[in-house]
Structure 1
Amino acid sequence: MLIPCWDSAGQIHHLEGFPTSFKDWSRGEELSAQRREFLSAVEKVTPSSISSTRDLAVDMNLTLEVTLDDGQVLVVRQCYPSQNDDVEELWRTSKFESEVNLMQWLEQNSRIPVPSIHSVMRRGTDSPAHFIIMSKLPGQVLMNSHSLLSSLAKVFALSHLTVRNTVLELFRLDVPQRIGTTIPSNPGDGLDVRPKIGKQYSLSADRVFDTLEEYMRHLFSLKRKSKSIGDGDTDKARAYSTLTTLEDLVNVHLKSLTSPSLRRCVLMHDDLHDANILVDIHGNITGVLDWEFHSIQPAVLAVGYPAWLSYDDTNDPRFASSSVWWVVGRQESIELRRQYAMIVKVKDLEYYEALVAGLFLRSVVNWLIDEHADPGCLRLRGWMISEEALGESLTQPDQIVPAK
């Protein structure tokens, strides 16, 4: 399916959207020994045999849509085992267990449309890998559907995302007031906190953080160790200088965030992009997927504009990696962001205040966790220079200044 995408010059192209399937299989067709072993393990916990599969995702996890002989359609998500790396295996297992627990907790404690988990299997005698079997939710991924929605439906999708389904409910759920990734509480049916699981095991935290200041110091430390800043002495020296300047600015900014409502810890989906949201033709949000990366963070970091509307920081066309594309044009993104800000301002003033107050800090975090190559932090430095010129407009969501 071709969808409109914009390049850094603002030119529109029609590119392949998120695949509806990477590979289809039906009974009678050839299977690898590894896939045959895995499907046999799945069939041990399904009510009937598997007649066909579709590979929905194949990168960090294997996600299959399976059709059974009795007509049921389910989703199976396999956690790939690590290849002889105990540290990576612990990371993979930890995010699998955390995702399972959080999805079950959200189904019991919220109205957020997460898939219902039918079965959980761990690697062992009966299974070659950890996997879960879930219900299949209706709808299409927003990445493929957004351009097909009417202007009214796009605004309705923002309203539905905030008010009825995800964002504002996450903002108000009762969660522990420490910074990290969730684990089951013991005893009880609540949540506890473990060190934050990163999108790569090398980016995970080694402890739980009590304050926003501690967490920001951790992120700066990770960036200084990141391969993205370059390997040479010159690149590292330039990067360290830029990061020190930015950290000094952040420390000053943190002193202005005095309201307890801005520092209250909030549950957030760390990967809430347009391929992890399902919508119908009217803009109703029908599913929120892929909770393996989530965290509890201060409100100023946990809130934000929808990721697919971003032309900021690492998505600013002047400084973005060459691999970045945009699924919404700049002018439309400005209008939809304005609508989003208006919606949350009416529905939850504290959310809106965190949205405004945290705009600069969230941009900094996006740069610190970005793993695209940036030797010497030259892209980051260019953004810092441009942001200084914007002045007070950094914190005004209704006055978004487009890039020149």
Structure 2
Amino acid sequence: MSVPMSSALDLVPLVLDEVTVHTDIEPQVYDEWSTTTTNDMPCTSLIESVCALLDNDGSKSRPIIARARKPFDINNAVLELLLNDRVVFVRKLSHEASNDLTSRWFKGRSVNETKELIVTTLLPGLDAVHAYPRLDALAKERSVLSYARFAVRMFQIPAPQRFGTPYDLNGPALLLGSHIGFSPEHCFDVSESTDLQSFFNGLIDSRLLRSSIYHKSDPSSHSLLSLRLTRLREGIQPLIAEVIKDPILSRFVLTHQDTRSNNLILEPVSGEISGAVDWEYCGCLPAAMAAQYPEWIRPPIDESLQYRNPKDTFLHYTFELKAERERLCDLYEECVKGLDQEFWNCLVLGTRLRDAYTWIALSNGDLDGEAMDRWVTDHLFGSTANHRCT
């Protein structure tokens, strides 16, 4: 059964290059199965066995819903990852890994992105992409404050003290294998001995590997990116040294790692966060890298109008004009400072290191590193004092 969340063209106010525009948002459509309905669906028994994992007390008191965004395969493994009864539970069904490295990268991570099943407890609300643009001013502020409480709560959960992906949040074990947040084809191993310096070295080596493949017919562009990454590596050395020597900045905390607006569920009237989905990238990172702003008030650095690569042809919308994003970031900082001083320290002092991570590992619109290099000049070697870059 297809269940469209919106039956008509979804027009909402967004901001494009500091101009407010009304544009359409893609409707959410799911094939849906639920314990509260009689709808039949292929592989129902498999879904029921997955749902049983969500039901800790065996009472089946909570309604369970399976949303299959794409076709799925009954032979896939089930990822077990849960936090508690108030957080969305996610199960991914994915093809078997093609090699040992990918297998260690993340049990259950899909290497064939056409196959996916997400099973969650039934949550009220819509993802922030669909909910936030329609909120009134007070509800938007509440969404920021609600995210602050969510982020601080994550920050305070005891976590294993090393890089890696937790598979048992009640124990000390982490999956051996690669850093989370990477496409498995380009991941790298982390171990008990991985420190922040070797972590960034691994990030850069992986980026250069991707570049050598992408720029196979254009070696000069690959060489230019290599030089720019070398300059960034030099520029972050003092930042890494500061984190390593400060136990507040360097302790490892659990982080979701993919808190894009479509992965956070908001109550559509109050703006309060009711849950988060897609935990497959979650892992343990140093606190300075884990404390972050909500993306709807502080977009990723590579989408910043100031540091966008001119070759990037994607349209990058924001939810607010820059002045309002600045105001909401101030509100967010004030809130988290009142909730947890250590979180605030990590949020403010870790900004440049988090942005460096984005430039290296996650930026798809800056393939030659031109925008990254301008940021490096301003924020690592220049006199720029405000590093928030909303």
TM-score normalised over the length of structure 2: 0.75
Q: What residue number does 1:211 align with?
A: 195
Alpha-carbon offset, residue 357 of structure 1: 0.8
Q: What residue number does 1:241 align with?
A: 227
Q: Does 1:230 align with 2:215?
A: yes
Q: One-letter code of the match for 2:15?
A: W
| Identity value in percent | 20
Cα 1:75/1:377, change in 2 over 3 Å: closer
Q: What residue number does 2:27 align with?
A: 19
Cα 1:21/1:383, change in 2 over 3 Å: same
Q: What residue number does 1:10 align with?
A: 18
* In 2: Cα distance, 1:351 partner to 1:157 partner: 18
* In 2: Cα distance, 1:359 partner to 1:60 partner: 39
* In 2: Cα distance, 1:87 partner to 1:210 partner: 19
Which of residues 248, 258, 263 is equivalent to 1:276? Answer: 263
Cα 1:179/1:55, change in 2 over 3 Å: closer
Q: What residue number does 1:162 align with?
A: 148
SS of 1:255's partner is helix
Cα 1:135/1:23, change in 2 over 3 Å: closer
Alpha-carbon offset, residue 279 of structure 1: 1.5
Q: Deviations over 1:343-363 (max 9, x none)?
A: 111111111111111111111
Q: Does 1:337 align with 2:329?
A: yes
* In 1: Cα distance, 2:167 partner to 2:251 partner: 19
Alpha-carbon offset, residue 317 of structure 1: 1.5
Which of residues 88, 94, 98 is equivalent to 1:85? Answer: 98
1:268–1:302 CA contact under 8 A, matched in 2: yes
Q: One-letter code of the match for 1:16?
A: D
Q: Does 1:304 align with 2:292?
A: yes
Cα 1:61/1:145, change in 2 over 3 Å: farther
Gap runs ≥5 in structure 2: 1-9, 35-39, 53-59, 75-87
Alpha-carbon offset, residue 268 of structure 1: 0.2
Gap runs ≥5 in structure 1: 27-34, 63-73, 98-128
Which of residues 377, 385, 389 is equivalent to 1:393? Answer: 385
Alpha-carbon offset, residue 11 of structure 1: 2.4
Q: Deviations over 1:27-72 (max 9, x none)?
A: xxxxxxxx96434643677799xxxx9966339999xxxxxxxxxx
2:307–2:375 CA contact under 8 A, matched in 1: yes
1:79–1:92 CA contact under 8 A, matched in 2: no
2:90–2:120 CA contact under 8 A, matched in 1: yes
Q: What residue number does 1:295 align with?
A: 283
After superposition, residues 3-402 of structure 1 pair within 5 angstroms as 3-7=12-16, 9-21=17-29, 37-39=42-44, 41-42=46-47, 57-58=69-70, 78-81=92-95, 85-86=98-99, 90=103, 94-95=107-108, 133-163=119-149, 166-184=150-168, 189-194=170-175, 195=177, 196-208=179-191, 210-227=194-211, 230-231=215-216, 232-257=218-243, 258-280=245-267, 281-311=269-299, 313-320=301-308, 321-323=312-314, 324-387=316-379, 391-395=383-387
* In 2: Cα distance, 1:176 partner to 1:21 partner: 37
Cα 1:347/1:138, change in 2 over 3 Å: same
1:75–1:136 CA contact under 8 A, matched in 2: no
* In 1: Cα distance, 2:70 partner to 2:104 partner: 18
Q: One-letter code of the match for 2:69?
A: A
Cα 1:203/1:146, change in 2 over 3 Å: same
Alpha-carbon offset, residue 286 of structure 1: 1.0
Structure with bigger helix share is 1
TM-score normalised over the length of structure 1: 0.72
Q: One-letter code of the match for 1:81?
A: H
Cα 1:138/1:92, change in 2 over 3 Å: farther
Cα 1:301/1:16, change in 2 over 3 Å: same
RMSD (Å) for aligned C-alpha atoms? 3.6
* In 2: Cα distance, 1:25 partner to 1:259 partner: 49
1:261–1:299 CA contact under 8 A, matched in 2: yes
1:179–1:296 CA contact under 8 A, matched in 2: yes
Alpha-carbon offset, residue 24 of structure 1: 7.5
Cα 1:133/1:387, change in 2 over 3 Å: closer
Alpha-carbon offset, residue 392 of structure 1: 4.7
1:267–1:297 CA contact under 8 A, matched in 2: yes
Q: One-letter code of the match for 1:193?
A: L
* In 2: Cα distance, 1:242 partner to 1:302 partner: 25
Cα 1:316/1:93, change in 2 over 3 Å: closer
Alpha-carbon offset, residue 238 of structure 1: 0.7
User: Which of 135-144 and 207-216 deviates more?
Assistant: 207-216
Q: One-letter code of the match for 1:259?
A: D
SS of 1:338's partner is helix
Alpha-carbon offset, residue 158 of structure 1: 1.6
* In 2: Cα distance, 1:222 partner to 1:137 partner: 37
2:165–2:180 CA contact under 8 A, matched in 1: yes
Cα 1:15/1:24, change in 2 over 3 Å: farther
1:160–1:285 CA contact under 8 A, matched in 2: yes
SS of 2:249's partner is helix
Q: What residue number does 2:81 align with?
A: none
Q: What residue number does 2:57 align with?
A: none
